[in-house]
Each structure stands twice: as structure tokens, then as C-alpha cells.
Amino acid sequence: MTNLDLSTIPEHVAIIMDGNGRWANQRGMPRAYGHRQGMESLHAVVRAAGDLGIRYLTLFAFSSENWRRPETEISGLFGLLKTFVQRDLAELRSRNVRVRVIGERGNLKNDILKLLIEAEEGTATNTGMTLVIAFNYGARDEMTRAVSALMRDVQAGLLPMSAITPEAISARLDTAGMPDPDLIIRTSGEERLSNFLLWQAAYSELVFVPEYWPDFGRENFLAALERYATRNRRFGGLAPAAAVVGS
């Protein structure tokens, strides 16, 4: 049960799903086992977010730095991606969830790219929650690509230098057209963003929880939303009470 006030529900929640490997290690199991169990948490959170009316849910699924991991682990993660598309896409369609994938696609193998495109195209007409999968994603790479695109337009004479504004950069990020995340949650007790949505997180509320991702379910998600509801978001301004006292 929860005392969550539905009027405080954020429009966009992003999650760094961390701790699958450590969760498995504590149980004497291979890291792949933790990733499989983490899929169950993913299902629970996606359903909860949709039920609560959250408009955007962004999940950090595979970072551009994850290629440094052992080949067996990477293969296992790709296997889970294939399972997700083949098994879970039908449920997402039925729940009116739209899938959007962000991240660099240029260096992906054709079979992986095909899966990502299938997930997007298979839900393109849905009008409910947008499930954003950050795959082969790194925020610095994203920002570099955005600025490079702007500079190409400047060099081609399509834009003046004065047109390089924060709004112009945002419009060329992978998340163009989406609101910035109101809340970013990270599991496993780590307290950093790890190259995730660095530009978009400028005014996000951050909630760090100790549970590893396989232990993070619906109730943990609701508890994080309750913590968010207590925050006073000022976006660089003054809180109403402070404004009166300091006037």
C-alpha cells in the first residue's frame, strides 16, 4: 500500500538499473542470472509506471561503455533484448505503450539494429506511455553528435553561429521532443549519473536507493515516487516562503 498523491506523479522518470551482477555474485550465481532476474523488475516497473499515468519512462539498458564487459555477458544481454522484443512486445502493444530507442546506432550489428527497429515500429501507433530504451547510449557521445550536427549546418551556411543555443542543442539530442526527466532513480547504492542524460538532468531530482535492481519492484518504485513528491523544485528560483521572507 502507498499514500502516494497521484497529483505529484512526475511526467518523466528515468532509471539507472544497476546492480544485476553484484546481486548474482552474492548468491553465487553468474552475472547473466542477475540480468535475467532484472528483467522481472523491468516488467514490474513498466507496468506500475503505466498504471500511474507516467508519460515517459526511460531505462538505461546498455551504455556505450558496456562494450568493455566480457563477450559472454554482452551476448547474454543481447539475448535478453531478443527475448524482450519477441515475448514482451505483444504486452506493450496491448498496454498502449510506445517504445523509443535512444543511443548511437551507427556501430550496431544488423541483427541488433533490426530488433530495435522492430520494437519501435511495432508500437509506433500507440498513444500511451513512451518507454524509452537507452541502448548503446552515452551522454557525452550524444552531446558530441548534437553539437557536430549543428556545426555542419553552420558550415553549410544553413545556420548562423548565433543559432547555437541550448534549445538548438536539445532539439538535436536523441531525446528531442521529449520533456527532460523530472526524476532520475539509481539502484544499488551508487550515487552518480555515469554518463546518463547529463544534459537533460540539469534540473532533475535524483533518488538513490540501496536495493540492487533485481530487488527493485513496484513498492520500491512507489517509495521513490513518494520521496520525489516531498521535493521542492525551484529550477534556480526561490521557494514561495523564501521569497516572502527575503523580500
Known binding-site residue numbers for Mg(2+):
18, 205
Q: How many CB atoms lie within 10 A of CB 63?
A: 21
Q: Which residues of 190-218 are buried (b: 16+ CB within 10 A; e: fewer)?
A: eeebebbbebbbeebbebbbebbbbbbeb
Q: Which residues line the annotated binding site?
A: 18-23, 31, 35, 63-65, 67, 69, 186, 192-194, 205
Cα dihedral across residues 184, 129, 133, 188: positive or negative: positive
Annotated catalytic residues are: 18, 66
Q: Give the whole-angstrom CA distance, residue 142 versus residue 172.
A: 9
For residue 143, which of 198, 187, 89 has the smallest C-alpha distance?
Answer: 198
**Strand 183-186 versus strand 130-137 pairing type:** unpaired
Q: Give the whole-angstrom CA distance, residue 27 versus residue 238.
A: 48
